[in-house]
């Protein structure tokens, strides 16, 4: 939440910062601002509304050229999205400008103290309190870094702060606690950003900043210290994707581009993690639900995750696995639970990260806590991981963002290689998360000796076929789903039903629709319907039903078909998502969307795709901005 950019170099900072903010706008888009420092002193402009409003204002009246600057795109926490509450905030009689991401929890008390000293505030934000305190210290010390060092111990909560001062041109001072900050290393210029997207078009050499560190950046130097002033060593890393990966590339939206990239996201997450034969598993997973062995022999390689070398104890010693995540990532976790329990025979609980630590959960050294986070910065998930570590649990992160805080603070990490995800609604990261969880489940099953090797090979081969299968769904079903969405543009509510691994997909289908089309949507376990929700069904009610493969479980399939009959008898309009060749579903559904054959546990990787396309098409039909839905931000860095 909130995007932050800083530049210190020789070029005109304003254009570089505006381009960086455009790449970070997914982090917040209710207002934006910029401050630069050059020969003329400090100049600042800020505007409520999307970044375009600031662009327009700068086009009408450009800031004087200046080689140092900071910029911010906001997701409001304290105070409405007005010009006054937009960042930067000024202090020291307008000579100091500061931007902030996070929440300063004790700001009320600090504000009262400053007000009683005669400080007048221009905004309702918690952030301006930090600006005022640092400004006051600057007046005393004449040095921005010293002012930071004096003030930071007084701030509670989460913050990334960047500040510039008119009297110290060429210098940006930054600090972070619990909120993200990355440095970009250039040649005669350096960058700061909430994530690498802020500067990846200029440099792919980056340094992640640790907890409670201060960074002083000039065109020629980067100095990192802890709050007490002790030097901190930091290892640079190379960003694994380039600026083109974070461009729309001709697609109507980032979401459309990212859904289209799903085959690649899965393939990249598998790459280098399967050794031995690369076989085709199409339709070969013929065992019972849970992936019993069967079918042809000798296909598929063996999962080997190099990042987990030396970490066997995490999986062998664990008595229990707890997966912590939020939103879409928590639905990926639910899918992972089925696979882990089936193949590794280990109890798995899935916990919403924000609920986890407030109920004193029973965890200890023999609990493996797996976090799932696209951004690696979600505050709720980060706090759950920290809590787990305090309790002595071991931690594994599944994350899509290199150098993010959650993987840095975990015992081990598996990166999903989905590439940058810019649209607020998570799509390609979701399928990459499920893919990573499948790899972990196969790995754990093998290590614990609970997974029959033949089943392991079949499932691995089937996993390797998923990219092609997703491409098939995209090619064959996009037009029809888009048409369906157009018919349904006036629908007021949509329900989603699933059983077994179809249940988390029903939840995800509903979440996607809610967040980008603002239509009421709910996902249910199909068997739960008769315990209450069936009362919602009235004539014409659209219901998506995820139908499990009859090849894997005739019983589950029959149960879902009977659930369809129950709702159809009450007038529901049923859109079934069923595998190719499932003829038994045809008489019971108004529409059938087909997915290719795969194994029972891998079906979510295919059944979710039509639901993502549907949500996107419906939002588009309603004329909504699918990439930047109202009230949301991509990376939720506040609790
Ligand atoms: C929904 C969505 C959110 C995120 C959730 C966790 O489309 O994107 O529900 O999944 O905020 O975010 P990460 O994965 O970054 O921890």
Give the number of other CB atoms < 10 A from CB of residue 306. 10
Whose CA is closest to atom 8 on ligand 1? 426
Burial of 517 (0-12, 13-18, 19+ CB in 10 A): buried
What's the pLDDT tens digit per position in 298-320? 466 899 999 999 999 999 999 99
Provide the pLDDT confidence category of residue 287 given band limits of 50, 70 and 90.
Answer: very low
Question: What are the two backbone dihedrals, phi and then psi, of residue 370, each rounded to the nearest 5 degrees?
Answer: -100, 125
The whole-number pLDDT of residue 377 equals: 93
Q: Model-level pTM? A: 0.88
352 closest CA partner among 367, 375, 377, 372:
372
Pairing of strands 182-185, 190-193: antiparallel
Rounded CA-CA distance 624/621 in Å is 8
In 282-368, alpha helices (H):
312-316, 327-344, 353-356
Distance 114 CA to ligand 1 centre (A): 37
Distance 185 CA to ligand 1 centre (A): 29
What's the pLDDT tens digit per position in 189-211? 999 999 999 999 999 999 999 99
Mean pLDDT of the residues in the chain: 94
Rounded CA-CA distance 170/168 in Å is 6
State the average pLDDT over residues 73-86: 92
Active site residue 634: yes
Tell me what percent of the residues of the chain surpass a pLDDT of 90. Answer: 89
What's the pLDDT tens digit per position in 22-64? 999 888 889 999 999 999 999 999 999 999 999 999 999 999 9
Distance 64 CA to ligand 1 centre (A): 39
The whole-number pLDDT of residue 299 equals: 63
State the average pLDDT over residues 583-612: 97
266 closest CA partner among 117, 119, 437, 125:
437
The whole-number pLDDT of residue 278 equals: 53
The whole-number pLDDT of residue 359 equals: 86
Asked if the model's pLDDT at residue 283 lies above 80, the reply is no
Asked if the model's pLDDT at residue 284 lies above 70, the reply is no
State the average pLDDT over residues 66-83: 94
The whole-number pLDDT of residue 634 equals: 80
The whole-number pLDDT of residue 248 equals: 87
473 closest CA partner among 337, 581, 613:
613
CB 44 within 8 A of CB 72: no
Asked if the model's pLDDT at residue 291 lies above 60, the reply is no
Rounded CA-CA distance 397/412 in Å is 6
Asked if the model's pLDDT at residue 290 lies above 50, the reply is no
Asked if the model's pLDDT at residue 279 lies above 60, the reply is no
Kindly state if the Cβ of 246 falls inside 6 Å of ligand 1: no
The whole-number pLDDT of residue 6 equals: 98
Total residue count of the chain as it appears in this document: 639
Whose CA is closest to atom 5 on ligand 1? 327
Kindly state if the Cβ of 416 falls inside 6 Å of ligand 1: no
Kindly state if the Cβ of 329 falls inside 6 Å of ligand 1: yes
What's the pLDDT tens digit per position in 515-550? 999 999 999 999 999 999 999 999 999 999 999 999
Distance 179 CA to ligand 1 centre (A): 16
Whose CA is closest to atom 3 on ligand 1? 327
Kindly state if the Cβ of 515 falls inside 6 Å of ligand 1: yes
Provide the pLDDT confidence category of residue 277 given band limits of 50, 70 and 90.
Answer: low
Asked if the model's pLDDT at residue 577 lies above 70, the reply is yes
What's the pLDDT tens digit per position in 365-387? 999 999 999 999 999 999 999 99
The whole-number pLDDT of residue 280 equals: 47
Kindly state if the Cβ of 371 falls inside 6 Å of ligand 1: no
Rounded CA-CA distance 153/160 in Å is 14
Active site residue 391: no
Ligand 1 atom nearest residue 634's Cα:
8
Rounded CA-CA distance 185/142 in Å is 27
Kindly state if the Cβ of 327 falls inside 6 Å of ligand 1: yes
Pairing of strands 493-498, 520-525: parallel
370 closest CA partner among 339, 412, 402, 427:
412
Whose CA is closest to atom 11 on ligand 1? 327
The whole-number pLDDT of residue 582 equals: 97
């Amino acid at each position: 939440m909130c995007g932050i950019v800083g530049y210190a170099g020789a070029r005109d900072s304003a254009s570089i910062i505006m381009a960086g903010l455009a790449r970070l706008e997914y982090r917040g888009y209710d207002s934006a601002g910029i401050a630069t420092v050059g020969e003329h002193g400090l100049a600042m402009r800020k505007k409520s509304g999307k970044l375009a409003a600031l662009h327009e204002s700068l086009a009408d009246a450009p800031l004087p050229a200046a080689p140092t600057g900071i910029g911010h795109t906001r997701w409001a926490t304290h105070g409405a999205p007005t010009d006054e509450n937009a960042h930067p905030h000024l202090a020291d009689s307008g000579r100091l400008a500061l931007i902030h991401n996070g929440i300063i929890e004790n700001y009320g008390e600090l504000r009262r103290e400053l007000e009683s000293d005669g400080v007048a505030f221009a905004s309702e934000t918690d952030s301006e309190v930090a600006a005022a305190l640092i400004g006051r210290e600057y007046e005393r010390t004449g040095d921005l870094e010293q002012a930071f060092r004096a003030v930071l111990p007084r701030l509670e909560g989460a913050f990334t702060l960047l500040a510039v001062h008119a009297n110290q041109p060429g210098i940006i001072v930054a600090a972070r606690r619990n909120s993200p900050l990355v440095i970009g290393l250039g040649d005669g210029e350096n960058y700061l950003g909430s994530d690498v997207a802020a500067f990846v078009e200029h440099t792919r050499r980056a340094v992640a900043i640790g907890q409670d560190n201060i960074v002083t950046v000039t065109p020629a130097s980067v100095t990192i210290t802890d709050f007490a002033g002790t030097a901190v060593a930091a290892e640079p890393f190379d960003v694994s994707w380039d600026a083109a990966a974070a461009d729309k590339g001709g697609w109507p939206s980032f979401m459309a581009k990212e859904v289209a990239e799903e085959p690649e996201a899965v393939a990249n997450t598998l790459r280098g993690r399967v050794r031995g034969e690369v076989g085709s598993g199409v339709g070969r997973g013929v065992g019972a639900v849970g992936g019993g062995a069967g079918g042809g022999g000798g296909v598929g390689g063996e999962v080997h995750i190099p990042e987990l070398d030396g970490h066997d104890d995490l999986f062998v010693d664990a008595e229990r696995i707890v997966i912590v995540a939020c939103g879409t990532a928590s639905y990926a976790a639910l899918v992972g639970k089925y696979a882990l329990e089936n193949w590794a025979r280990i109890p798995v609980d899935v916990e919403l990260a924000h609920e986890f630590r407030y109920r004193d959960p029973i965890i200890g050294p023999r609990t493996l806590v797996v976090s799932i986070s696209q951004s690696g910065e979600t505050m709720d998930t980060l706090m759950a991981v920290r809590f787990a570590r305090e309790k002595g649990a071991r931690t594994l992160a599944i994350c899509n963002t290199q150098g993010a805080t959650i993987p840095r603070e975990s015992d081990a990490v598996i990166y999903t290689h989905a590439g940058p995800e810019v649209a607020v609604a998570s799509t390609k990261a979701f399928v990459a998360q499920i893919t990573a969880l499948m790899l972990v489940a196969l790995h754990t099953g093998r290590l614990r000796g609970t997974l029959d090797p033949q089943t392991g090979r079949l499932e691995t081969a089937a996993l390797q076929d998923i990219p092609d299968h997703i491409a098939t769904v995209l090619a064959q079903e996009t037009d029809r789903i888009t048409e369906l969405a157009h018919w349904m543009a006036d629908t007021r509510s949509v329900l989603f039903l699933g059983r077994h691994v179809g249940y988390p997909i029903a939840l995800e289908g509903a979440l996607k629709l809610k967040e980008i089309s603002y239509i009421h949507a709910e996902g249910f376990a199909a068997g739960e319907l008769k315990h209450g929700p069936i009362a919602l069904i009235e004539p014409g009610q659209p219901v998506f039903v995820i139908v499990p493969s009859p090849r894997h479980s005739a019983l589950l399939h029959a149960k879902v078909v009977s659930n369809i009959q129950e709702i159809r008898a009450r007038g529901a309009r049923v859109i079934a998502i069923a595998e190719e060749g499932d003829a038994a579903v045809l008489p019971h559904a108004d529409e059938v969307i087909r997915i290719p054959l795969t194994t029972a546990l891998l079906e979510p990787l295919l059944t979710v795709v039509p639901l993502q396309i549907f949500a996107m098409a419906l939002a588009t039909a309603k004329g909504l901005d699918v990439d930047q839905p109202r009230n949301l931000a991509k990376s939720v860095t506040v609790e």
